[in-house]
Amino acid sequence: MAETRTRYGDAVTEHLADDRPVVAVANRLPVQHGDDGWELSPGGLVTALRPVMSTHSGAWVGWDGGAKGMPATLPDMDVRLVPIGLSATQIRNYYHGFANATLWPLLHDAIEKPRFERAWWYSYRDVNAIFADRALAALAEEPGAITWVHDYHLMLVPQLIRGRRPDQPIGFFLHVPWPSPDLFARLPWREQILAGLLGADVVSFHTERYRSNFVRACARLLAGSGIEVRGTEIMLPDGRVVATTASPISIDAAEFTQNATAPGIDADIEALAEQFAGRTLLLGVDRLDYTKGIVERLLAVEMMLERNPEYRTSLAFLQIAMPSRDNVREYRHLRATVEQHIGRINGRFTEPGNDVPVHYLYRGLSQQHLAAYYAVADALLVTPLIDGMNLVCKEYVIVQDARDENGILVLSEFTGATGELPQAILCNPFDVEGLSYRIENGLGLPAEIRRAAISEMAAYVRKHDVHRWVAEQLTEIATRGAKAAAAAAAREAG
């Protein structure tokens, strides 16, 4: 771990303008109990925040997930853990309800119908107030700290902190898309959510489109409240200015490169190469979520098998699905649907005496195991119907490049990542037949072209890695916070 700290430390200080403490506020605390005791949990947000937490002091405020006996600080880091316990009713109403069955589908273009329940909203308000109280208590112990609030679970927190700490630098980052104002307008509590976010000095999104959707929602739904939009800034009636930015998140490219070349991975790769020997391997890696286009991907593979009988023995598709939110009915339904499709496809196309064409793992894997799968896959199919960013595609190009491979990345145009990785084979997953042809055509590209695309995408991801994202975010929050405090002091004096 000491070695890890040095690596992150070098990478972060290279970018970082200041080293003030950070109080991060996110739905979940980033630790879990593993075989060797408490460890950092996997997942996009933890990966993103880990570098800053290894070089900054501060605190992380989040739900303990019901875990008992959690350590007081992050393993090997100078960051206090501030655990919040939630009742069974709060978990049902705030988390499974408002966060995952109202906001998640609404913010993902309502591809599943959002459910609106007043009891869920009241619980969301209450739980956001608890998070804000705990963040304020943590801030009292961290003079000069920056507050960094994350994601759709906590959109009221910036305003709740602002009300009690007018001079506090506050940033908010949304990890999911922001839909068009027409869609967002369906939310019965839309003004409250917008006002909650406008408590921050900086509200950030992955892409320019989400940012501009948000600003347009403010202009339209808060018209008459005295706000004024000027470019990317929103002027509030009390004189405060809220900046909005587009800041695509990324991965720790150095860490994935290291995973791809670590001792031990060769044995994993060899085992997989043997398992899929003589077959072209297509791979999907996702949380099992209806936004990820897993069904469309399966149907596209089915069409390929239908059109090309030789593929039935020469091609394999492996879907690795991480269990997710199985307390929400849409997710249980999705799992059943995915497993039905897999059963049907294998039933139709497994040739006697041969392996099945579709392989399926329903579990989380270690980063190193995942790297081995990325290394051997001839194609990664990233086909979300909508996805704020998507980190899996960035992980794949880094591992492929580190292993000098020439796999293809088939990437949905409805991911945030699409704007950053134009060398991918872009696809529209709603057009399942078109998707099946895109995959086929991609597999037919000459090796040098595929290799060049991987290498260009990897170079981009290495340059725009998560360390740079963290540094830019914190610098922006600190700068904007200082400006706001100076403006407030001037208003008071004058």
The footprint of ligand ADQ (CB under 6 A) covers 42-44, 47, 175-176, 249, 285-287, 320, 322, 364-365, 370, 387-392, 395
Residue 80 or 394: the one with the smaller Cβ distance to ligand ADQ is 394
CB nearer ligand ADQ, residue 98 or residue 414: 414
Q: What is the DSSP string of 94-160?
A: IIIIIIIIIIHHHHTTTSS-----HHHHHHHHHHHHHHHHHHHHHHHTSTTPEEEEESGGGTTHHHH
Phi first, then psi: give them for residue 357, nearest 5 degrees: -75, -30
Buried residues in 250-282 as b, exposed as e (16+ CB within 10 A): bbbbbbbbbbbeeeebeebbeebeeebeebebb
Nearest to ligand ADQ of 75, 364 (CB atom):
364
Nearest distance from C-beta of residue 29 to ligand ADQ, angstroms? 17
The answer to whether the Cα torsion of 255, 260, 263, 269 is positive or negative is positive
- One-letter amino acid identity for 357? P
The CB-of-420 to ligand ADQ minimum distance in angstroms stands at 11
What is the smallest separation between the CB atom of 443 and ligand ADQ, expressed in angstroms?
A: 23
Helix or strand (DSSP H, E) at 226: none
Of residues 49 and 193, the one with the C-beta less far from ligand ADQ: 49
**Minimum distance of ligand ADQ from residue 71's CB (angstroms):** 23
Q: Which is nearer to ligand ADQ, 176 or 282 (CB)?
A: 176
Q: How far is the CB of 46 from ligand ADQ (least distance, A)?
A: 9
61 vs 249, which CB is nearer to ligand ADQ? 249
* Residue number with CB closer to ligand ADQ (181 or 388): 388
- Give the number of other CB atoms < 10 A from CB of residue 209: 16
Instruction: Tell me 418's DSSP state.
Output: G
Question: Comparing C-alpha atoms, which of 131, 177, 194, 91 is closest to residue 388?
Answer: 177
Nearer to ligand ADQ, 176 or 305 (CB): 176
Supply the minimum distance, in Å, between the C-beta of residue 365 and ligand ADQ.
Answer: 4
Identity of the residue, 43 or 75, whose beta carbon is nearer to ligand ADQ in the bound complex: 43
Beta strands in 202-269 (DSSP E): 202-205, 228-230, 233-235, 241-246
Residues comprising the chain, all counted:
494
Q: Tell me how far, at minimum, the Cβ of 159 lies from ligand ADQ, in Å.
A: 22
Q: In the complex, what is the shortest distance from the CB of residue 104 to ligand ADQ, in angstroms, rounded to a whole number? A: 9
- In angstroms, what is the minimal distance from the CB of 391 to ligand ADQ? 4
Nearest to 152 by CA among 101, 88, 208: 101
Please tell me whether residue 247 adopts helix, strand or coil conformation.
coil
Q: Is 115 exposed, middle or buried (0-12, 13-18, 19+ CB in 10 A)?
A: middle
Alpha helices (runs of H) in 16-57, residue ranges in sequence order:
44-55
CB count in 10 Å sphere of residue 473: 21
